[in-house]
């Protein structure tokens, strides 16, 4: 390293430390609830403008259009018997599918580190846990174990990028869910296995005077899927729970 380059680097280091931004780092919030860059709480209704035939109606047996099932997954899907629909219980209401089921969701803070999602379809409850030390329950459940974090978009290191590195940008709510019971991606028996891991990004948008929540979902199932199954689902804010229509699955 030449002396001039070393001098430059020293100046850079001094410059970085001397910038006002360096002194004005935002205080670290105490709880995930306080740190929330977006407010997801409230009443939301799914507006089914996509995959309507596969969500509002029960698709025919063997119709797994656009789901990247592998041969094993197709084999399992083809064994589904519509005559046993009633006995499918909550299989189509597990975490990997529940946000695609037409219905309403009610989101609240269960405590300072847990976001809670209640659904009227299937009457399910999801707990999104910000506590990274929390362990999954010993038994698998329909909703599995969801680990949550507020995404913060930052640039990986290196001197070049460090020159431009800011404090990062607040992103979405990122949720990784594991430990689910095997279930259905669609009500006609399109399967996901208990090996499934799901990553979701919850975000907020506003358009034409209406609040929206989007959920970008990546379902990875090495047993039944050829590739990650990617969907995005949108919900419109509602003022109250007057249209809540709880429908249990059993």
**Closest CB to another protein among 41 and 214?**
214
* Smallest separation, CB 192 to another protein (Å): 13
* Smallest gap from residue 82 Cβ to another protein (A): 13
C-beta of 4 vs 84, nearer to another protein:
4
Nearest Cα to Cα of residue 187 among 233, 105, 118, 121? 121
Q: At closest approach, how far in Å is the CB of 164 from another protein?
A: 6
Which residues are at the interface with another protein (CB under 8 A)? Answer: 4, 7-8, 11-12, 15-16, 19-21, 37-38, 45-53, 56-57, 60, 65-68, 102-104, 120-121, 151, 153, 155, 160, 163-172, 201, 203, 205, 207-208, 210, 212, 214, 216, 218, 229-234, 243, 245
Least spacing, CB of residue 171 vs another protein, in Å: 4
In which region does residue 69 sit, left (phi positive, over 0), alpha (psi from -120 to 50) or beta (all else)? beta
Q: Which is nearer to another protein, 14 or 137 (CB)?
A: 14
- Considering the complex, what minimum distance in angstroms separates the CB of residue 162 from another protein? 10
CB 143, CB 125: distance < 8 Å = yes
Q: Which is nearer to another protein, 37 or 136 (CB)?
A: 37
CA distance 65 to 62: 9
Work out how close the CB of 83 gets to another protein at its nearest, in angstroms, rounded to a whole number: 17
Nearest residue (CB) to another protein, 68 versus 141? 68
Q: Which is nearer to another protein, 51 or 194 (CB)?
A: 51
| Residue 234 tokens, joined | 């949108």
Rounded to whole angstroms, how far apart are CA atoms 7 and 187? 66
CA 169 remoteness from chain centre: 19
Query: Exposure string (b/e) for 178-215, b if CB count within 10 Å is 16 or more?
Result: bbbbbbbbbbbbbbbbeebbbebbbbeeeeeeeebbeb
Can you tell me the distance from the alpha carbon of 214 to that of 232, in angstroms, rounded to the nearest whole number?
7
The string over 71-80, giving b where at least 16 C-beta atoms fall within 10 Å of a residue's C-beta and e elsewhere, is eebbebbeeb
């Amino acid at each position: 390293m030449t002396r001039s380059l070393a001098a430059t680097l020293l100046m850079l280091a001094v410059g970085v430390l001397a910038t006002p931004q360096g002194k004005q780092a935002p205080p670290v919030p105490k709880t995930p609830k306080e740190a929330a860059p977006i407010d997801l709480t409230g009443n939301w209704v799914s507006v089914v403008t996509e995959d309507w035939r596969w969500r509002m109606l029960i698709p025919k047996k063997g119709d797994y259009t656009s789901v990247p099932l592998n041969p094993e997954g197709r084999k399992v899907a083809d064994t589904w018997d519509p005559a046993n629909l009633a006995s499918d219980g909550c299989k189509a209401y597990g975490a990997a599918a529940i946000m695609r089921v037409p219905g309403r969701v009610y989101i609240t803070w269960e405590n300072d580190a847990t976001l809670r999602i209640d659904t009227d379809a299937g009457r399910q409850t999801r707990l999104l846990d910000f506590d990274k030390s929390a362990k999954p329950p010993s038994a698998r459940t329909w909703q599995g174990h969801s680990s949550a974090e507020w995404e913060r978009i930052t640039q990986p290191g290196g001197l070049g990028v460090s020159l431009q590195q800011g404090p990062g940008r607040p992103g979405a709510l990122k949720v990784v869910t594991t430990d689910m019971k095997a279930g259905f991606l669609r009500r006609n028996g399109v399967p996901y296995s208990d090996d499934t891991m799901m990553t979701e990004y919850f975000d907020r948008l506003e358009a034409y005077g209406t609040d929206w929540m989007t959920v970008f979902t990546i379902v990875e199932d090495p047993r039944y899927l050829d590739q990650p199954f990617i969907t995005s689902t949108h919900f419109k804010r509602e003022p109250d729970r007057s249209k809540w229509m709880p429908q249990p699955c059993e």
